[in-house]
Amino acid sequence: MHSFLANPMRHFTTVSGIQNYLREQKLNHNSIGLVPTMGALHEGHSSLVKASLSENDITVTSIFINPVQFDNVEDFKRYPQTLESDLIELQKLGNTVVFIPSQQEMYPEKTILRLEFGSLQQEMEGKFREGHFNGVGIVVGKLFNIIKPDKAYFGQKDLQQYAVINQLVKDFSFDVKLRCMPILREDDGLAFSSRNQRLDAKGRTEAIILYKSLELAKDLIVEKVSIEEIIVKVQNLFGQSTVDLEYFEIVDPVSLMPIQSYNTQTNIALCIAGRVGKIRLIDNMIISK
């Protein structure tokens, strides 16, 4: 147990350790909620943990920076690691069980299986992060098999990831109910992200353009401005900024396919990704008509 915790909370670093513990919990008919994270916890993660605590007898929060989902070695190496404060934060939230496996524990052998999510990975993140959703699918599939949760909690912040995991559950018949939780934002609208920790003061100020673009697009949709014009207006906004726009797409929130006209859509997802220097941020907004 970690000595810096006043009341060390239950945590496991091995698959067999957590499985033995959970086997007993299941025999006692305790329901299990899983919150997969890569650590560097923020209020967005906390909201997922709180939801799980309120809906399950046992909440397992996993902290694992999954190397297989990173297409960029630098991004993986620089991913923030704040285990000590993460555990303190989790303890404040309540009685959660923490699973902190090593890379060796999760990947004792190199994975041979490769997952491909067809049209769900064709656009947006899939275009910019080679192999990313294969890595996400592999690690989430492993976690579902290890923990066997009744419910698993994910954030709308990673909308495409949620769509991919939903497909994974359907295609592999995982016996788990998925919950997609709303995006939590800082006071000025910037979505909480572990990567925000890497922004310097100037970058932090500039990063707000992602949220501003979503707000602008939302207003233009209300004014019935055409899709093409909205895209140009968002691109123009980035023209005056040092943040590089990677993509801004207006898509169907389920199929994730770009929409040509929003007149026939009931729900529309605005999705954006940009680079503030070397730091890549994503955000989205779903608009219901």
Which one of residues 9, 22, 44, 164 is an interface residue with ligand AMP (CB under 6 A)?
Answer: 44
The residues facing 286 across adjacent strands are 269
Write the CB contacts of 134 (distance below 8 Å, at least 6 apart in sequence).
Answer: 68, 69, 114, 115, 116
Residue 145 CB coordination number (10 Å): 12
Cβ closest to ligand AMP, residue 39 vs residue 58: 39
CA distance 35 to 48: 7
CA distance 191 to 215: 13
Cα–Cα–Cα angle for 178, 182, 183, nearest 5°? 125
- With contacts defined by CB under 6 A, name the span among 25-33, 90-98, 180-188, 255-263 that binds ligand AMP: 180-188
Which one of residues 50, 151, 157, 198 is an interface residue with ligand AMP (CB under 6 A)?
Answer: 157
E strand residue ranges, the chain: 11-12, 32-37, 58-63, 96-99, 151-155, 177-181, 244-251, 267-276, 279-288
Which one of residues 56, 59, 121, 193 is an interface residue with ligand AMP (CB under 6 A)?
Answer: 193
208 near ligand AMP, rule: CB under 6 A? no
Min separation Cβ 226 and ligand AMP, Å? 30
Number of residues that bind ligand AMP (CB under 6 A): 17
Q: What is the dihedral of CA 220, 222, 223, 229, to 10 degrees?
A: 30
Which one of residues 126, 137, 149, 155 is an interface residue with ligand AMP (CB under 6 A)?
Answer: 155
Which one of residues 12, 32, 34, 47 is an interface residue with ligand AMP (CB under 6 A)?
Answer: 47
Min separation Cβ 162 and ligand AMP, Å? 7
61 near ligand AMP, rule: CB under 6 A? no
Contact at 8 Å (CB) between 42 and 194? yes
192 near ligand AMP, rule: CB under 6 A? yes
Contact at 8 Å (CB) between 190 and 196? yes
Contact at 8 Å (CB) between 218 and 193? no
CA distance 166 to 206: 33
Which one of residues 61, 194, 213, 284 is an interface residue with ligand AMP (CB under 6 A)?
Answer: 194
Min separation Cβ 36 and ligand AMP, Å? 6
Catalytic residue among 2, 29, 42, 45: 45
184 near ligand AMP, rule: CB under 6 A? yes
Cβ closest to ligand AMP, residue 49 vs residue 227: 49
CA end-to-end distance (rounded Å), the chain? 50
Q: Active site includes 45?
A: yes
Min separation Cβ 232 and ligand AMP, Å? 28
Catalytic positions, please?
Answer: 45
Binding site for ligand AMP (CB under 6 A): 37-38, 44-45, 47-48, 154-155, 157-158, 181, 183-184, 191-194
